[in-house]
Homo-oligomer: A and B are copies of this chain.
Amino acid sequence: MLTQKAKYAIKALVYLAQNEGLAKTKDIAETARIPKKFLESILLELKSHHLVESVQGAHGGYRLLKKPADISLADIHRMFEGPIALLYCASLNFYKPCPDCEDVESCQLRRAMIHVRVQTLRALQDITLQRMVEGEGFARQE
């Protein structure tokens, strides 16, 4: 399950993908029904990950730094939830061997979790901000 924070991050990014130009925290918060103070910290985190940029002062706000087609749910998941895999030992980006595992290579649990991660990752990569805004399905293209 996603945390509220990750869900809010996705909704904020979808808002930014739909509204070109600068968007104010206040407007995003009201439209997407996100607590404003919480959203502030989320936007700063998105900024630190170079997904958005900000303009300070009056008439300031946030905008996307990348094209909506270049931001996928896999990216957002990794930023706010960490590994897509169900165990660190099955992760691509957050790999850690289990402290108690005898042989990582032959571990059946790991093999199973890699199978799951491959499928989940593909599904998450299928979904870009652009596709979410377009409103079409998410079947994989050929």
Is A36 among interface residues, defined by CB-CB distance under 8 A?
A: no
In the complex, what residues of B have CB within 8 A of residue A133's CB?
108
Partner of A82, one of B1, B112, B119: B1
In the complex, what residues of B have CB within 8 A of residue A126's CB?
115
In the complex, what residues of B have CB within 8 A of residue A33's CB?
100
Contact A124:B135 (CB < 8 A) given known A14-B109, A100-B33, A109-B14: no
* A44 shortest CB reach to chain B, Å: 22
Residue of B with least CB distance to A139: B115
The docked-state distance in angstroms from the alpha carbon of A135 to that of B85 is: 20
Q: Which residues of A contact B (CB under 8 A)?
A: 1-2, 7, 10-11, 14, 33, 73, 81-83, 85-88, 100, 108-109, 111-112, 115-116, 118-120, 122-124, 126-127, 131-133, 135, 137-138
